[in-house]
Amino acid sequence: MSWRATILTLYPDMFPGPLGQSLSGRAFEQGRWALDTVNIRSFAHDRHHTVDDTPAGGGPGMVLKPDVLADAIDSVGTDNRPRLLLSPRGRPLDQARVRELASGDGVVLVCGRFEGVDQRVIDGRQLEEVSIGDYILSGGEMASLVLLDACIRLLPGVMGAQASGEDESFESGLLEYPHYTRPAVWEGKAIPDILTSGHHGKIAEWRKSEARTLTAERRPDLWNAYCAEEQD
């Protein structure tokens, strides 16, 4: 049984979008993952297909109606897949969580729109709020694409060389080291001698040193966490 993603959205035509190309697209054609979309608007209860209403207590924007969204969620049925709501106030998505999701049966993703989602749906349907970064998007669809791409590339058989996934940024707690390729000299700059030395042990040491330096300079939060784990 393939890894399965179900997307609840007001804009089902946005999927698979870029996920139909490159690694994820080939994996989809090979049946390594499957995709279902559920149009939230199909569960509206009036002839105008209304899916939102004004926020209780006043304020700007509109809020997705709880009865409509809950019916859409319930239509998916129950299984072991986590139900995730893409939300800027959610737990930050990291590589560890991506690996957990990729190792399961798939995900159910709820794409929020407007000002937000009625809290009663979040609580009543046990939605896990997930954020892909400290910024605001127009809706959860783009965030869903990001999350799915991160998961799909880790599915068995999707990446050509498993080592390419194990040696990337965040996998070891560090940012990835710099990369080089031919030509050996480009615009007067040469590939570092160590990388053409053929000494694999020294190359590994250089790469780890560069990764540590980059992480300390660019992501002190990651660097502090890495150092704490090394001490333990």
In a domain, 163, yes or no: no
Instruction: Tell me whether strands 189-190 and 185-186 are parallel, antiparallel or unpaired.
Output: antiparallel
Which CATH number fits the domain that encloses residue 210? 1.10.1270.20
In a domain, 162, yes or no: no
Same domain (yes/no): 134, 186: no
Same domain (yes/no): 98, 193: no
pLDDT above 70 as % of the chain: 96
In a domain, 213, yes or no: yes
Torsion of CA 47, 52, 56, 59, to 10 degrees: -130
Alpha carbon distance 52, 73 (integer Å): 16
Among the candidates 103, 120, 152, a domain finishes at 152
Same domain (yes/no): 107, 139: yes
The pLDDT tens digits of the residues spanning 129-187 come to 999 999 999 999 999 999 999 999 999 999 975 545 566 667 889 999 999 999 999 99
Radius of gyration in angstroms for the set of CA atoms belonging to the chain, rounded to a whole number: 22
Phi, psi of 10 (to 5 degrees): -85, -10
pLDDT score, position 168:
64
pLDDT surpasses 60 at 12: yes
The pLDDT tens digits of the residues spanning 37-48 come to 999 999 998 999
Same domain (yes/no): 119, 205: no
Alpha carbon distance 138, 122 (integer Å): 19
Same domain (yes/no): 86, 179: no
Domain count, the chain: 2
CA distances from residue 29 to 16, 20, 34, 140, 196 in whole angstroms, order as listed = 12, 9, 9, 25, 39
Mean pLDDT over all residues of the chain? 94
Same domain (yes/no): 66, 116: yes
Token pair in block for residue 141: 């669809």
pLDDT surpasses 50 at 22: yes
Give just the sign of the alpha carbon dihedral 21, 27, 30, 36.
negative
Same domain (yes/no): 68, 140: yes
Same domain (yes/no): 108, 181: no
The amino acid present at 56, given as its one-letter code, is A
Alpha carbon distance 16, 201 (integer Å): 42
Contact (Cβ atoms closer than 8 angstroms) between residue 43 and residue 75: yes
Same domain (yes/no): 26, 62: yes
Same domain (yes/no): 138, 225: no
Contact (Cβ atoms closer than 8 angstroms) between residue 76 and residue 110: no
Same domain (yes/no): 124, 178: no
In a domain, 73, yes or no: yes
In a domain, 164, yes or no: no
Which CATH number fits the domain that encloses residue 64? 3.40.1280.10
Query: Which residues form the domain of 55?
Result: 3-152
Alpha carbon distance 178, 173 (integer Å): 16
Same domain (yes/no): 12, 100: yes
Sequence-distant (≥ 6) Cβ neighbours of residue 134 within 8 angstroms: 88
In a domain, 159, yes or no: no
Q: Where do the DSSP E strands lie in 63-207?
A: 63-64, 83-92, 106-111, 116-117, 128-131, 185-186, 189-190
